[in-house]
Structures are given as structure tokens and as C-alpha cells.
Amino acid sequence: MKRVLALLAAGTIVSGVCAYSATGQTAVSKPVPRVTLTRLDCGANKTPRDIAAFSDTHALDGQKKALVASCYLIRHGDEYMLWDTGYAASNRTDPKSAIALPRTIVEQLKQLGLDAADIEYVGVSHYHGDHTGQARDFPSASLLIGQGDWSALTAKDRAANVDPAPLAHWITGGGKYEAVRADKDVFGDGSVTILDTPGHTPGHKSLLVRLRGMGNVLLTGDLAHFASNYAGNAVPAFNTNRADTLASLDRFKRMAANLKATVVIQHEPADVAKLPVFPKAAE
């Protein structure tokens, strides 16, 4: 009798926390551990910057805007993942830097009782320096990066604006990495999914985090840089593929609507503020 009751109790627990696919449908009856999402301060422009180049139709000529670089800590049970790593830590102490960086990621993690070695995965949305700047501070982590971006970083005829330095540890074989071709279910239970959203760069990625309390959260990477560009499907002049950008925006927006997700545009101060103020986490 005790065995029957124990089995029934176990079944009740498992059925209450099923894993989900990225589309929101039940995939398997697999327990999902506690998942939290903490926003980290990873730099900001000290003064508003010229944003004309963020539209290839001259819609933003003569305009300036304050932008932030945000990155995120995802806790999945006892595992930790960083999503993007912001500007380089050197901006923290450089008085000539145009970037304000009050605290590094490592310093913020210490406030949470974590060390760099506690981070199992570093996922980067793309290879630009304001998203990879502090990756080198997590050499024991496995790097997750889009296949198109990895190919661009490691090409013999690498483009002049593709800087491999922040990810040199992995490029030279010093750390584990995965070049992600399509979507990737990071932990195998649908709670954290890297989404294929190319266009800004060849292998650009966004991120879906499914939280029990707040619900679904979609982090853009640089699919869009601020709210007006997201709303108007604007394409920056420096994107690598215009058609891919528009297709990725269409997919992302449809997913946001279907999942009733909170969209966080990572460079938009108002969107970053949708998540709790550090050190509190969304869950």
C-alpha cells in the first residue's frame, strides 16, 4: 500500500511540471526544475548615440537615443547559463571609454553568491563586441553560438568588422563550444530555447525562457535594437541580410503572439525594465 501511495505521489509531481516545446505544446512528461531569469547590467552609452544607421531607409537620420547593453543569467535548477556578455570589462576602469560599466558580470555574480566557474553555458546572440565583451571571463563554460557567426569568426578571409578576440579562448581550442545551426533546446525540457533569427549577422540567435510565474519571455538579441524599430520592422544598414532580418522578425512576432510572451528588446531601456531590478529575478 505504501508503495502504491508513493508511486501515485510521484506521478502527481511529474504531471504537474511537464516539459514544453518552443511552440508551447506539451512535449514529454519530464520534471522541469526551478527556472529564473535575472537581468544584468552590461554597459550603456554615456551619452545618446547617433542612430541613423539603424534604418536602411533613412527613417532615423539626425536622431539620437540612449541605448543599454543588457545580458541575462538563467538559473535552471542547479545549472547556470549566461545569455550575452555585454561590453568588455576594461570599460569598467577606462575613464576615456564612451561606455559606462559600473559593475562587471563577475562582480554581479558575486553578489548572488556565484563564481565564474559556476556558469555552465555562455550563449551569445551574435559576435558583436557589445554582446561578447566579457565572455573571456568564463573560460570553463561551454560556448553556444550560431553556426553562421562561428563560420564568420573562423573564416580565413574574415571580414574586417568581425572581431574574434572576445571568443579567442574557444576559437583556439581552449574551451568547449557548439555552433548551433537551428533552434536549440538548451536543457532538454523546453524551458530555455535558443531561436534561429538570422539577418543581423549570419547566425544571429534570440532566446525563449519559459517561467512558471511570469510566463514566457523572449529576448531579442539584436533582432531589433529599440521599440520603434521593432514595431516598424526597420532593418539596420549594417545587417548582413535584409530578407533574413524581415523573416526573423516575422517569426519572432508570431511566436510572441502565440505564446503571449513578454518581449524584451535588449538595447531598449524601457524593455529591460520589464524584468525585476537586480539582484531580484523573474520566475
32-272: CATH topology: Metallo-beta-lactamase; Chain A (3.60.15)
Residue percentage of the chain with pLDDT more than 70: 89
Separation between Cα atoms, residue 204 and residue 87, nearest integer Å = 18
Radius of gyration of the chain (CA): 19
Query: Is the pLDDT confidence value at 48 over 90?
Result: yes
C-alpha span between 191 and 249 (Å, rounded): 22
Which residues partner with 262 through β-bridges?
Answer: 217
State the pairing for strand pair 121-123/142-146. parallel
Tell me the C-alpha to C-alpha distance, in Å, between residue 163 and each of 47, 131, 147: 24, 12, 16
For residue 23, pLDDT beyond 70: no
Res 13: pLDDT? 30
Q: Of 237, 233, 223, 212, which Cα lies nearest the Cα of 267?
A: 223
Give bridge partners of residue 36 from the DSSP assignment: 75
pLDDT at 123 over 50: yes
What's the pLDDT score for residue 17? 41
88-100: average pLDDT = 96
Q: Which residues, 6+ apart, have CB-to-CB distance to 109 below 8 Å?
A: 73, 115, 116, 118, 119
Average pLDDT score over residue span 107-133: 98
pLDDT score, position 31 = 82
